[in-house]
């Protein structure tokens, strides 16, 4: 499938939004507080909001960069076993 950057950004945004709706936190390590987790998740949500804004403004490269930051933070928290997360879209691996 040959998609333009705007379509690709929209798919990334939708996948991150779905992931945010369905994620759960784990038993946090003592070095990480609930406040820390909330702070990072708030940052993720701001990146998603920025990605939507830039996409609507036609700045697809900036939109992709913003949503990539959001996805990276979620993946990092998943790898550190701070959250349980699954990417919902079957097409996600093909983006």
Predicted confidence band at 91 (pLDDT cuts at 50, 70, 90)? Answer: low
Are 76 and 23 within 8 A, CB to CB?
no
Give residue-wise pLDDT tens across range 19-52: 999 999 888 888 888 899 999 999 999 999 999 9
Q: Would you say 24 and 83 are in contact if contact means Cβ atoms under 8 Å apart?
A: yes
CA distances (Å), 78 to each of 1, 38, 74, 89, in order? Answer: 29, 14, 6, 17
Name, in order, each residue with C-beta under 8 angstroms of 70's C-beta and a sequence gap of 6 or more.
16, 44, 45, 47, 48, 51
Catalogue all structural domains in the chain, each as residue range(s) with its CATH number: 5-94 (1.20.1270.90)
What angle do helix axes 60-79 and 34-56 make, rounded to 10 degrees? 160
pTM given for the model: 0.86
């Amino acid at each position: 499938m040959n998609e333009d950057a705007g379509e690709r950004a929209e798919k990334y945004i939708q996948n991150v939004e779905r992931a945010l709706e369905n994620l759960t936190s784990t038993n946090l390590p003592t070095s990480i507080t609930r406040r820390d987790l909330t702070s990072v998740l708030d940052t993720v949500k701001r990146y998603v909001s920025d990605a939507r804004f830039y996409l609507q403004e036609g700045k697809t490269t900036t939109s992709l960069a913003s949503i990539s930051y959001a996805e990276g933070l979620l993946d990092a928290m998943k790898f550190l076993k701070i959250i349980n997360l699954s990417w919902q879209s079957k097409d996600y691996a093909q983006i």
